A and B are shown apart, each in its own frame.
Chain A
């Protein structure tokens, strides 16, 4: 199981990377952490003419605070995000989610930008970004734009990125006082793709969910915002009645597909279980 031959380029600057993107178009693939791309190459599900290895582009592996919030460079490894005190303080949802991403030896290589650009609907990071109302910074020759995460993930492995654009950062806006986060997921084994995951971010007041954003993984083509369940819970404590109502609303919010790992019905059931578990923990003082 070996990849088909490809040319290899290791640009030393964004300018060189854009030149290579222009030159190869859809025949070139960006190589970041490689933890999703290389398996696909090994199985020859993709046979690009060239890999453009962006790992040595300078200045893209930092985590810093700016006026717009917490800026996480695209080349930050999952392990770096997991261990970052800035992330723990300013985006605790991400800190909670990172240990669920693959395994130790995957997180040392896999990157934030790679996870964003791949847009795997089972992935943890995209759901967290949507829950946090974050933006994805896409850089092209001569400029950059910040795309709201809620509009960035368009479908399975499909994003709002345009040809010639690279994901260069995720930007997480400052979190006002009173907001809490909780991430959890249900998987058959630690590190496996979760059957269902939930990124919850909300304002808790007197044990009630004054505001709540719920974004699920693995139960639809994108990170799935559960607007119906959010409405059912707004202003309420997550008591059994509220959770039952929210669980019913989830049926319309989610669009799971059955596969070899779990039927659609099991995923819907697990989503309700996870919702109750996550919200109960989130509102505990």
Chain B
């Protein structure tokens, strides 16, 4: 029995139309159908944050949203927000502060960091840590990530410096 459903959506500004199995997660769709492999599949139950993407401007877990639910939506992946330059300062800060080692969590970290700073470029260390609580990093111990976000925020309009 064919359960597939046709969906139309834009990903990083490009329109796509595909038939998908309803059970396919958004992150699996992005990776396997569109070959956008910057979004990572970690825990597959919403805990680790490696699959974080933006849908219609909101941060979501790519493993907890079905591709079929993104029909009509505007999806942004790490490839998209890196290419537009939106997070260039955060990327630089992550590199400078050595805020990544294996890099598996980094795309999700950058998305969450961007959301934290968008809400408050002066976010305190405590607020940054609370904001990052849904993104796991198993390499860095988080200190360098928090530093990178804090420094990037300070240099933004409305930041500390």
Contact = CB atoms under 8 A, between A and B. Distances in A.
Interface in A1-38: 1-8, 10, 31, 34-35, 38
Interface string B58-78: 111101111011000000000
B134 interface: yes
A50 to B, nearest CB: 9
Given A7-B22, A104-B112, A104-B115, A190 B69 contact: no
Given A42-B63, A104-B112, A3 B23 contact: yes
A105 B22 contact: no
A36 to B, nearest CB: 9
B15 interface: no
Contacts of B28: 2
Interface string B17-59: 0000111010010000000000000001110010010000011
Contacts of B112: 104-105
Contacts of B133: 103, 189-192
Interface residues on B, range: 20 to 34
Interface residues on A, range: 20 to 34
Contacts of B66: 8, 31, 34, 38, 51
A109 interface: yes
A79 B63 contact: no
A75 to B, nearest CB: 13
B23 A102 contact: no
Nearest to A109: B60
Contacts of B59: 104-105, 108
A53 B69 contact: yes
A102 B45 CA distance: 12
Contact of A42 (B45, B49, B60, B129): B45
A4 B129 CA distance: 36
Q: Does more than half of chain B's interface fall in helix, strand or loop, or is it mixed? A: mixed
B80 interface: no
Contacts of B139: none
Contacts of B46: 35, 38-39, 102, 106
Nearest to B3: A7
Interface in B70-112: 112
Q: Does more than half of chain A's interface fall in helix, strand or loop, or is it mixed? A: loop
B45 A6 contact: no
B159 interface: no
Given A1-B44, A3-B23, A8-B3, A106 B129 contact: no
B69 A34 contact: yes
Contacts of B131: 104
A41 interface: yes
Contacts of B3: 5-8
B5 interface: yes
Contacts of B115: 104
Nearest to A40: B45
B94 to A, nearest CB: 19
Given A4-B23, A42-B44, A104-B115, A191 B134 contact: yes
A55 interface: yes
B64 A109 contact: yes
Nearest to A42: B44
Contacts of A104: 59, 112, 115, 131, 134
A144 interface: no
A190 B134 CA distance: 8
B23 A5 contact: yes
26 contacts: A2-B23, A2-B44, A4-B23, A5-B23, A6-B22, A8-B3, A8-B68, A10-B68, A34-B66, A34-B69, A38-B25, A38-B46, A38-B64, A39-B44, A43-B45, A51-B66, A103-B49, A103-B135, A104-B59, A105-B52, A106-B46, A106-B61, A108-B58, A108-B59, A109-B65, A190-B130
Which are the 3 A-B pairs with shortest beta-carbon distances?
A: A103-B134, A8-B22, A39-B45
Given A38-B46, A104-B134, 4 more contacts: A6-B23, A7-B22, A38-B64, A53-B68
